[in-house]
Amino acid sequence: KMDQIRLEEGTPQKVLKHIRELAEQLFKNENPYPAVTMHKVHQPTNGSHMQLHQKPFPHLDEGVVQWIIDQATAKLQNAPPAVKAEKKCMVPSGPAIVGVVDRNGSALANSARRLEVVRNCISYIFENKMLEAKKLMPAVLRALKGRAARQCLTQELNLHAQQNRAVLDHQQFDFVV
């Protein structure tokens, strides 16, 4: 390649020929399907140059335009402002937020449903209803991200331990863990 370039340096016709060949090759690389790039251009019909392609804008009566403008300004002057002024006032406080009370009487700030799911899952585990406990496991794991649910879990486990029902098989132990 380098030898060919050196030989062609003296003849500009050969250089231009190779530049054209390279340009054609680049064009073919960019546009591999010539049918896609060529668009059919319709020829104008006979006498189309005589037709008017744009209609002239209609003549406006100056008096009618001024009357419409006057009507609109009168309507806007009599109308109330579009945006009402914002009043600042005190919002009365509502009823106090009462936490959910569990079996031991401590107030928990989490939703009652999440805590009930944790309680149900623990009771299912201790009753050896592993299928129901397995169904509740994803909800329990989501609930245990909250502090109140973790506290509820420990209280439920403590409650079952105090009732001497703390004998678990391997699968029950794995679920509790």
Separation CA 6–CA 29 (nearest Å): 27
pLDDT at 67: 92
HEC per residue, 148-172:
HHHHHHHHHHHHHHHCCCCCCCHHH
Tens-digit pLDDT profile for residues 138-176 = 888 888 888 888 888 888 888 888 776 667 788 888 877
pLDDT at 36: 59
Neighbours of 13 (CB within 10 A): 8
Tens-digit pLDDT profile for residues 92-142 = 777 665 544 444 444 444 478 888 888 888 888 888 888 888 888 888 888
